[in-house]
Structure 1
Amino acid sequence: MFTIDTIKGHDRMSTQDLLLAISEAVANGETNFEIAASGQHDIGGPLWHPEGKTLYFHVANAGQRLGSMCLANTEIIADGSVSADVGWLNAGGKITVKGDAGDTAGHCSAGGKIYIGGRGGTRTGSLMKHDPLYEEPQLWILKNVGSFSFEFMGGGRAVVCGIDSEEFDSVLGERPCVGMVGGIVYFRGHSHDHPADILLEELNDDDKAFLSGGMDEFLRAIEKEDLHTELTDWKQWHKLRPLSFEEKQKTNIKHTDMKSFRLNEWIKGGLFSDVAVDDFAVKNLVEKGIYRQRVPQWNNAKYAAPCEFACPANIPTQLRYNMLRKDKQEEAVKLVLEYTPFPGSVCASVCPNPCMDACTRAKIDQAVQIGPLGFQSVYAELDMPTKKTGKKIAVIGGGVAGLSAAWQLIRLGHAVTVYDDADIGGKLEQVIPRARLPHELLQAELKRIETAGVKFVPRCKVDADKFIELRKTNDAVILATGGHKSRFFPWEGVEKLTMGLDFLKAVNRGEHPAVGKNVIVIGCGNSGMDTARGAYDMGAETVTCIDVQKPAAFQDEIEYIEQLGGKLVWPFMTTKITDDGIYDNKGRFVKGDMVIVSIGEAPILDYLPQNENIKKFRDWLVPQADNSILEGIFIAGDVIKPGRLVDAIGSGNKTAYYADAYVMDKTVPAFPEKQKVPEKSLDREYFTKCHHCDLPEPIGDVNRCVSCGTCRDCKTCLESCPEKAIDRIDHGMGIVEYISDPDKCIGCGICAGVCPCGIWEMTANPELIKMYRTGEAE
């Protein structure tokens, strides 16, 4: 005997642990089980003895699904009542419940016997069935059952004795035998109306023989043998059975359609009439209009293309190529100037082009030539507003961040003056080697900014007094003084260092600074490569660049230095600098007679007042949400954190956005940031691969651009829609719109699937179906 109490002190055994313990005991040959349960479910099945012996279960306080999937040679006796799904999917077991059973007792039963010594709940006997190869299932119930009993019954026999059920109008509950196609239901007492294809009949001899043969066993099982005489008066019994196929052919029972059936024979008001207003219409699997599960949305330019998303200046290259496709070359060339005044100096010359790294086309063959496209806009001009705001804004710092902010603000009609203690242009002018950035190109773009109306004040040192003056005489001040202090660590011999930033500035000023024969550059980033290039230009015979980590410079910059004979050594952690070279922490030595450090720069902020409201992180300023640090004082670029030149452009644009809002005393939302178009929505199969030898010039690269997130007017959706639900509307001036007709659209999603650019998006149908009762007037 296997005996188990599932409550130990205050701890209750889990269902999983109980079932595992029972399975283990059965595997070990146990056949008798005495279980003091505490609501655990699925007790008693599916189990089989290794020698085919019968398994006996005596259970108290059983939970749901007692005898679930119970197999032959299993007998279960449950004291008292149990909850739902007694004998669910019973496949041969004998299950006795001495009290009431919950809902769906005998649900899907296909074999065996289930005895209920009380009442059954809603949908008792539903989906019972009979495989002719096996003995049919039986379900015996002493009292009555709940509504929808024997729903969709397909086989077997059910017996409802009707004891102690006089108070009920029907011992079978409301709407018994709906959808019943097989089996027999025997009942004693009264029953409600049943479907027209279910026959109510009196018992024949075979029925009486069945009931008489099973009644004694049933009553013994539930310990109610004293009811034998009362329950064997067959005059009180009836049976329900479905019409056979042949009988149905002879009747006039016809359902013209499902709506008629639901109106005339289904539950009045519908199954969920208490919470819903049913129109009794039957919807097809494929529907149009309000009943579509999904609806298409033409989200032209809702999402940023990967190139736009990756660009800190948010330049929408896909729009430039869309314009070029429509022969709008002038508009395309000018478009980039709305986002940056440096399409040639930065985008085409010194930017690492994160836009090209992110380009979807790179996953097909090679990225679209976005960077070189910037050369097309070097000499373009934008019309400036004739109406001025009367607001004055000072920009301290004539580098990329400051000039980008100035460019945006002048385009808004403000008066802008840029101050710098050197020549205007920042690192573009002072540091970037002329070989990487032709001086005439930079001068052309600086001239455009100046021609637009920005006033340049070069070689003007802004100290604390000058800062106070600028703050008093302007409506706002933008600090974009960049990073002009070379960073280094307190190595031994640090006094022997040459600062990389000072060295590069001297080179660009034409001072031809002296260098050693064997130069060591600490730092293998892009500034380190620029320093190495400058050292070679000044006459160095060898240059060795060292770094503690893998070189971060662009590959083409590294290759250029290596072609000159330069070497890169890493990892190399500097510890000591001498007149003869440099040592690392492992004792390695690199020979050299000059060491230049180029591992980054920090800002010089000595012009700022001492103010506890100005927050800093190490050497850098920490802006508020609107990029300000004090009332009317905004910051941009490398004074916030070191970054690329394109990062400085994005930072300048953001600062200009908030500075404009401040001087114009207007409330604006947070600086706009787009979501990237989902990659899975792009259909790259639309595009043919191109051999790298056949790449066109950048401006002719229009057909290779995937136009991610913006419609290229390819008409693929228009031609692919099976329902012809999509219309193309030409608004003129090159503006085209696609719309989907809800009265034709079935929500199939083909438009979203074939769109190469990810414009069409399928969303859950947002249209409200007014069917649920909300307590308000319907």
Structure 2
Amino acid sequence: MFKLKSLDGSQRMSTQDLLQIINEAVAAGETEFHIEASGQHDIGGPLWHPEGKDLNFLVKNPGQRVGSMCLEGTQIIVEGSASADVGWLNAGGKIVVRGDAGDTAAHCAASGNIFIGGRAGTRSGSLMKHDPLYAPPEFWVLKNCGSFSFEFMSGGIAVVCGYDSEKFESVLGDRSCVGMVGGTLYFRGNASGISEKDVKIRPLEEEDIAYLDGKMDDFLTSIARPEIRAELSNWSEWYKVIPLKYEERSKTSQTKILPFRTEEWVPNGIFSDVLRDDFSVIGLVTTGVYRQRVPVWENAYYASPCEFNCTASIPSQRRYNLLREGKVEEAYKLVLEYTPFPGSVCGAVCPNVCMEDCTRKNLDISVQIGELGTYSKDVTLDKAAVPKGKSVAVIGGGAAGLTVAWQLIRKGYDITVFESDEKMGGKLEQVIPRSRLPQQTLAAELKRIKDMGVVFKNNTPVDREKFSEIRAAYDAVVVATGGHKGRVIPWPGHERIVKGIDFLKGINKGKSPKVGKHVIVIGCGNSGMDAAVGAYQMGAEHVTCIDVQRPAADDKEIAHVEDLGATLMWPVVTKEVTAEGIITQDNQFIKGDTIIIAIGEVPELEFLPEGIVIEKGHLKVAGDYRIAEGVYTAGDAVKPGRMVDAIGAAQQAAAAVDAYLMGTTYQLQTKTKIDKNRLSTAYFKKCHTCDVPKADDDHLRCISCGTCRDCHMCERSCPENAIARTLGSDGNFEYISNANKCIGCGICAGICPCGIWSMHANKQPIHA
């Protein structure tokens, strides 16, 4: 016997896994099964033994549809009760439930036997049928059935024994045999509410008694109740139900709905609690409150793929919409609401993850979001109209710190940034190669921040004493010191290693650090690629970049380094560093007279007071970026990441500081990516590379995912003229559907190329 227990402690086997195991066992020749289930569905069918042998199942605690589509040669015995759809579509098996069965037992059964040793639920025996080429299905119930039993029955034999059911007005439940057109039903005991329009009740004839008497022992033995044979064999207590023949049925005219509802509807029936209307007839196509669906203009409700992928949440499709409307300067300024570095980061050093999932890629290539950032390097925003009268200190003048400063100065706070280096910019200034980030772009964006009113204090290192002084002088403090301490693994000979961040800083400060002819860079992330480029700039003849895993750098950075002649090797695990190079764990030798390591950095946090939690070299933050009362953080001080990650975190940190100083509650803003199936790319022409316009003209290709492009297609396509475009006093437009005209057809949602219109179920109550 094949035994299986589907519950291991608190771990429950899925239905899919259980059925797969049973199928494999049957295929292997198993015939006897003992299944301790825990609510899994569809146990017992349809199954075929490879040698045609019978299959026997003993099942405990099954879920729905036990014996579903069961085939001839399969016997299932359920110890205890079973839930809905026992023997659904039974095609020849014998199914025995020794307890109660749920709703729709024997539903659509076409052959075989279904024996229930207790009660059966609502609509049991419904839609039973009989194919004349096979034996009819037989459905036996020891006790009674729920309402609507045997409705639309068209074949087979059903038997309801009425045992232990004297307290029920009807052993067949309410409104039994509705629509019955075939088959035979036997019952014992009381029965009321049977559909007299469809069936007639008759006493048993000799052939009926012969059938019941001949089948009774098999039934009672199967459900383990042979002792009640005599009690059920008083045939004078039994009746037969058969459907009316066509000529016996009423030939009345077609039933009208209003008389049916007002005169024939079952008083206090199962629908009485919801039947509260004026009985007026509502057409299939209607407006107002009776519409099935309601269109809603959900402009900017969902984030486009580019915005969703951008950790700074820059809504590029809104920029392109503004360009489409001719609002060029407004479009260039929009990005400054989110970052002070559209040219330096978006347009230069960012890998532009916004473009990776651009919907336009399914047609040709992504919209040129990165390059668009360069158009914003020379614009600025207005200063705050009303000063807040509060001050915030930012420690660290990198991407995160300056983004915090930019966001808060625009809200009206007095901002001072403390930077230990002689120049602002953090890694943008000190580490990123000039070949990747033009100096004039960064200088212009730093000037914009300073011109907004942010006070720069360069050459100002912060120790514990200075931190205490700053904390006492300002209403809030933001720690954004970045990661400037290079990590080095203590291999033998590690003292020969040059830290990548120090190497890159030396290049940018014009110190021209010396390198040998053969350089090894440990680490193939973007920092490693920058170090490799720097090594070539300093005179290296060949650079070998190694990593323990697949290079994590962006494809374009890897391609640039390989174009310079570098070799990338992975997986390579370093064992020892020597004067001639590196010895790997598998004792291979890689030649190199200069070894540079670029495997990440940690922030300098020694100036922070005791009590601030530091884990694995980084600050541990609460959900609102707070590390102490009035002290917040963002960027690489929390965890290493890309420049755009630091900018996104700095936005949230600035919002948290603002909430703290204003006495409000900070709430993290989340985004939901628009479903690509809502978008209609068929409306957009495919461009070849030679046809792709410049970034500021790329609005012709941008699909404007999730943000209305004001194309009027919904307005012009509505068959009922229900959609109108309105213009608010602030100059913003909106499309509105008139409920008195709209029929809820959904054409607006189907035709919208941007996925703006959604069809919602009409939840407006019909009655007050």
TM range (shorter): 0.7 to 0.9
Q: In the superposition, relative to structure 1, how do residues 578 and 689 fare at CA in structure 2: closer, same or farther (>3 Å)?
A: same
Contact 1:419 1:457 in 2 (8 A): yes
2:657 to 653, 656, 659: 659
Q: In the superposition, relative to structure 1, how do residues 398 and 270 fare at CA in structure 2: closer, same or farther (>3 Å)?
A: same
- Offset of residue 228 of structure 1: 9.4
Q: Deviations over 1:432-491 (max 9, x none)?
A: 122211111111111111110001111112122111111111111111111111111001
Q: Distance in 2 between matches of 1:768 and 1:558?
A: 61
Q: Find out whether 1:598 has 2:598 as its counterpart.
A: yes
Q: Deviations over 1:675-709 (max 9, x none)?
A: 11122212222212110111101000001111111
Q: Distance in 2 between matches of 1:769 and 1:60?
A: 48
Q: In the superposition, relative to structure 1, how do residues 545 and 123 fare at CA in structure 2: closer, same or farther (>3 Å)?
A: closer
Q: Find out whether 1:717 has 2:714 as its counterpart.
A: yes
Contact 1:547 1:572 in 2 (8 A): yes
Q: Find out whether 1:341 has 2:349 as its counterpart.
A: no
Partner of residue 431, structure 1 = 431
Q: In the superposition, relative to structure 1, how do residues 282 and 241 fare at CA in structure 2: closer, same or farther (>3 Å)?
A: farther
- Offset of residue 275 of structure 1: 6.6
The percent of aligned pairs where both chains have the same amino acid is 45
List gaps (5 residues or longer) in structure 1: 1-10, 131-135, 166-171, 189-210, 771-777
SS of structure 1 residue aligned to 2:760: strand
Q: Please say which of residues 294-303 and 394-403 is displaced more in the overlay.
A: 294-303
Q: Find out whether 1:628 has 2:655 as its counterpart.
A: no
Contact 1:159 1:187 in 2 (8 A): no
Q: Please say which of residues 75-84 and 415-424 is displaced more in the overlay.
A: 75-84
Q: Please say which of residues 635-644 and 280-289 is displaced more in the overlay.
A: 280-289
Partner of residue 645, structure 2 = 647
Q: Distance in 2 between matches of 1:91 and 1:603?
A: 73
Amino acid at match of 2:200: V
TM-score, normalising length from structure 1? 0.77
List gaps (5 residues or longer) in structure 2: 1-35, 131-135, 217-229
Amino acid at match of 2:425: G
Q: In the superposition, relative to structure 1, how do residues 439 and 213 fare at CA in structure 2: closer, same or farther (>3 Å)?
A: closer
Contact 1:158 1:186 in 2 (8 A): no
Q: Distance in 1 between matches of 2:620 and 2:550?
A: 29
- Offset of residue 42 of structure 1: 9.3
Q: Find out whether 1:393 has 2:392 as its counterpart.
A: yes
Q: Deviations over 1:520-556 (max 9, x none)?
A: 2222222222222222222233332222222222333
SS of structure 1 residue aligned to 2:356: helix
- Offset of residue 763 of structure 1: 3.1
Amino acid at match of 1:154: V
Q: Deviations over 1:714-762 (max 9, x none)?
A: 2222334444443332336652212233444444433333322121223
- Offset of residue 311 of structure 1: 1.0
Structure 1 residues 226-245: aligned runs within 5 Å: 244=247
Q: Distance in 2 between matches of 1:586 and 1:76?
A: 64
Partner of residue 180, structure 2 = 153
- Offset of residue 348 of structure 1: 0.4
Partner of residue 726, structure 2 = 729
Q: Find out whether 1:764 has 2:758 as its counterpart.
A: no
Structure 1 residues 94-173: aligned runs within 5 Å: 108=127, 122-123=147-148, 126-129=151-154, 146=172, 147-155=174-182, 173=192
Q: In the superposition, relative to structure 1, how do residues 457 and 176 fare at CA in structure 2: closer, same or farther (>3 Å)?
A: same
TM-score, normalising length from structure 2? 0.78
- Offset of residue 381 of structure 1: 1.3
Amino acid at match of 1:257: K
Q: In the superposition, relative to structure 1, how do residues 621 and 257 fare at CA in structure 2: closer, same or farther (>3 Å)?
A: same
Q: In the superposition, relative to structure 1, how do residues 177 and 335 fare at CA in structure 2: closer, same or farther (>3 Å)?
A: same
Contact 2:679 2:753 in 1 (8 A): yes
Q: Distance in 1 between matches of 2:383 and 2:520?
A: 49
Choose 1 or 2 for highest CA Rg.
Answer: 1
SS of structure 1 residue aligned to 2:699: coil
Contact 1:120 1:141 in 2 (8 A): no
Q: Deviations over 1:66-121 (max 9, x none)?
A: 9998999x999999999998987687999999999987787556677999999887
- Offset of residue 603 of structure 1: 0.9
Q: Deviations over 1:123-150 (max 9, x none)?
A: 56643447xxxxx979899997654243
- Offset of residue 597 of structure 1: 1.9
- Offset of residue 300 of structure 1: 0.5
Partner of residue 24, structure 2 = none
Partner of residue 493, structure 1 = 493
Contact 2:160 2:171 in 1 (8 A): no
Q: Find out whether 1:521 has 2:509 as its counterpart.
A: no
Q: Distance in 2 between matches of 1:711 and 1:62?
A: 56
Contact 2:143 2:160 in 1 (8 A): no
SS of structure 2 residue aligned to 1:358: coil
Q: In the superposition, relative to structure 1, how do residues 508 and 289 fare at CA in structure 2: closer, same or farther (>3 Å)?
A: same
Contact 1:157 1:185 in 2 (8 A): no
Q: Distance in 2 between matches of 1:592 and 1:38?
A: 69
Q: Distance in 2 between matches of 1:15 and 1:567?
A: 55
- Offset of residue 656 of structure 1: 1.1
Q: CA RMSD in A?
A: 4.9
1:177 to 188, 191, 196: 196
Q: Distance in 2 between matches of 1:140 and 1:448?
A: 87
Partner of residue 586, structure 1 = 586
Contact 1:125 1:139 in 2 (8 A): no
Q: In the superposition, relative to structure 1, how do residues 217 and 119 fare at CA in structure 2: closer, same or farther (>3 Å)?
A: farther
Partner of residue 5, structure 2 = none
Q: Distance in 2 between matches of 1:421 and 1:13?
A: 65
SS of structure 1 residue aligned to 2:258: helix
Q: In the superposition, relative to structure 1, how do residues 715 and 616 fare at CA in structure 2: closer, same or farther (>3 Å)?
A: same
Partner of residue 295, structure 1 = 294
Amino acid at match of 2:356: D
Q: Distance in 2 between matches of 1:658 and 1:724?
A: 46
Contact 2:181 2:243 in 1 (8 A): no
Q: Distance in 1 between matches of 2:325 and 2:150?
A: 70
Q: Distance in 1 between matches of 2:380 and 2:351?
A: 25
Partner of residue 316, structure 2 = 317
Q: Distance in 2 between matches of 1:109 and 1:759?
A: 47
Partner of residue 201, structure 1 = none
Contact 1:110 1:137 in 2 (8 A): no
Q: Distance in 2 between matches of 1:338 and 1:428?
A: 20
Q: Distance in 2 between matches of 1:627 and 1:393?
A: 15
Q: Please say which of residues 148-157 and 478-487 is displaced more in the overlay.
A: 148-157
Q: Distance in 2 between matches of 1:557 and 1:590?
A: 23
Q: Distance in 2 between matches of 1:566 and 1:23?
A: 62
- Offset of residue 318 of structure 1: 0.7
Q: In the superposition, relative to structure 1, how do residues 635 and 85 fare at CA in structure 2: closer, same or farther (>3 Å)?
A: closer
Q: Deviations over 1:353-383 (max 9, x none)?
A: 1111121112221000000111111110110
